[in-house]
A and B are shown apart, each in its own frame.
Chain A
Amino acid sequence: MYSEKVMDHFMNPRNVGEIPEADGVGTVGNPVCGDLMTVYIKVKDNRLEDVKFKTFGCGAAIATSSMTTELAKGKTIEEALRITRGDVADSLGGLPPIKMHCSNLAADALHSAIKDYLKKKEAKK
């Protein structure tokens, strides 16, 4: 059902965990639906120095979370905001159609974490 790349990211997820003093945190999904993910970011000189995630969900949810952190790491804020769900799915060699909407939420969690960072930055000024 899943591509080799999805299975690789499911079995060996990259960047699992929390960032204790994260600059931004974003959570999307709902355990009732079976998917919940949180993305943590650390920002330095407008770049995502570190990105980590925690996910409750199916294989696709875990693999997309892992791939999203990999795509985002090292990118500028502007570049990271342009990462879409489609980019994540493409980088994984595609996802089963039924999983495209319910489990491919990690890009949204990333954007939410960035917005959290920007909001905090604005508040500091």
Chain B
Amino acid sequence: MDHAAGMPVDPRVFEAMKPYSMESYGNPSSSHSFGASAKNALMESREEVARLIGAEKPEEVIFTSGGTESNNLAIKGVAYRNKDKGNHIVTSTIEHISVINICKHLQKQGFEITYIPVDKQGIVSPQKLKDAITDKTILISVMYANGEIGTIQPIKEIGEIARENQIYFHVDAVAAAGKVPINVEEENIDLLSISSNDMYGPKGMGALYIKKGTRIQPVIQGGGQERGLRSGTENTPGIVGMGKAAEIAQEEMETEGRRLSQLRDKLTKGVLDTIERSYLNGHPTKRLPNNANLRFSYIEGESLILGLDMLGIQVSSGSACTSKTLEPSHVLLAIGLAHEEAHGSLVFTMGKQNSEEDVNYVLEVLPGVVKRLRAMSPLTPKEMLR
């Protein structure tokens, strides 16, 4: 139940990619027939991705190597190209680490960044964001949904604010694309990052939607592929795979979304009902269909992960002890949790491979794991152990 960390490639996606890895190895930029076949495949994939996010024109989709590169191109590309207009960027405190580190990088180069705080459920306040805008603001970057706590942002409202103030609006939709309906036109989005692997497509593939007319410059210079915005020979098998993944995601979004949100709610309710001093992190309803982030007092997340792993359940945690930096998740701290609370959080991200049986199994064994660790913890109140 750790789909946010990596998803398997859908067998239908793999099948679609196969011919482009072996037989149809043409370079889409070549003029001969081999190249033409690859070029057609690229066009179809671009159309599928455009359709998934409600883009009017397929040309507005630029293929990249993944969500991180899309975020780099969107934020740096707009910042550098528009610095004659201003140097101020508004973002939130719960963005993906790639967005945060891109902003830190720009800060060193003279850009000013305002990080809008979120409420306890992880929602960015449109009013606070509006108040942060100055006449130097050139970009607003807010994620569609947070992959860790699942909270979905009021994107349309933020988009309206951006539009009214004539500021570019970038949305990191890596965690949301393919799981919830997105419409860049209706939601006033100028730039939108998505990743292929987060919707059962191949790793190392992503896309950036760039609304026609957006002033942006490339961060990679080269032969001018992807309308000059992303040079380098196109990864044809990857692009075909991502196109297929987008097509499937769109077809199955409604049924799969309903199925996953039922599993999510069953898991959440089951845990909250049976384990005392357990809590849901994030918003109770405005959240990704596959995400349940649960917190347990008096115990630490890594030991929970290990205990569950021994029983065949794979999950992730907001604990510092599982991270490279030994810092607890910035997202959990941003929603106001104390360090020791952040340490005791578990993230369940479900996907196609999960069934109701899995949820039942978690509900059967998790209370025991929690109980065992609580019995060992000096923080657990004595009356709870009786």
Contacts and interface: CB of A to CB of B under 8 A. Distances in A.
Of the four ranges (under 10, 10 to 19, 20 to 34, 35 or more), the interface on chain A belongs to: 20 to 34
A59 B343 CA distance: 13
B379 A36 contact: yes
B100 interface: no
B375 A57 contact: no
Given A36-B378, A58-B306, A61-B300, 7 more contacts: A7-B310, A13-B376, A32-B338, A34-B300, A34-B340, A37-B378, A57-B303
Interface in A34-93: 34-38, 54-62
A34 B304 CA distance: 13
A58 B302 contact: yes
A117 interface: no
Contacts of A55: 376-378
Interface string B309-329: 010000000011110101010
B326 A31 contact: no
B310 A11 contact: yes
B376 A62 contact: yes
B330 interface: no
A10 B303 contact: yes
A123 interface: no
A102 B321 contact: yes
A85 B326 CA distance: 20
A54 B340 contact: no
Contact of A31 (B303, B307, B340): B340
B368 to A, nearest CB: 12
Nearest to B306: A59
A16 B310 CA distance: 20
Given A16-B375, A27-B378, A56-B379, A34 B299 contact: no
A104 interface: no
Nearest to B343: A34
Nearest to A55: B376
A59 B378 CA distance: 15
B340 A32 contact: yes
**What 6 A-B pairs come out closest when comparing CB atoms?**
A58-B302, A58-B321, A31-B340, A54-B378, A56-B377, A32-B339
Interface string B257-297: 00000000000000000000000000000000000000000
Interface of B: 298-303, 306-307, 310, 319-322, 324, 326, 328, 338-340, 343, 375-379
A63 B273 CA distance: 31
11 contacts: A7-B310, A16-B376, A31-B379, A32-B339, A35-B300, A55-B378, A56-B299, A56-B300, A58-B301, A60-B321, A62-B376
Interface in A1-47: 2, 7, 10-11, 13, 16, 27, 31-38
Majority DSSP secondary structure for residues of A touching B: mixed
A38 to B, nearest CB: 5
B377 A34 contact: no
A10 B339 contact: no
Contacts of B328: 34
B320 A59 contact: no
A27 B379 CA distance: 12
A112 interface: no
Contact of B303 (A32, A58, A102): A58
Contacts of A7: 306, 310
Nearest to B341: A31
A101 B312 CA distance: 29
B300 A57 contact: yes
A27 B378 CA distance: 10
A1 B302 CA distance: 12
B321 A57 contact: yes
B106 to A, nearest CB: 30
Contacts of A59: 302-303, 306
A52 to B, nearest CB: 11
Contacts of B326: 98, 102
Nearest to A101: B326
B320 to A, nearest CB: 5
A33 B320 contact: yes
B322 to A, nearest CB: 8
Contacts of A98: 324, 326
Nearest to A102: B326
Contacts of A58: 300-303, 306, 319, 321-322
A59 B300 CA distance: 9
A71 to B, nearest CB: 18
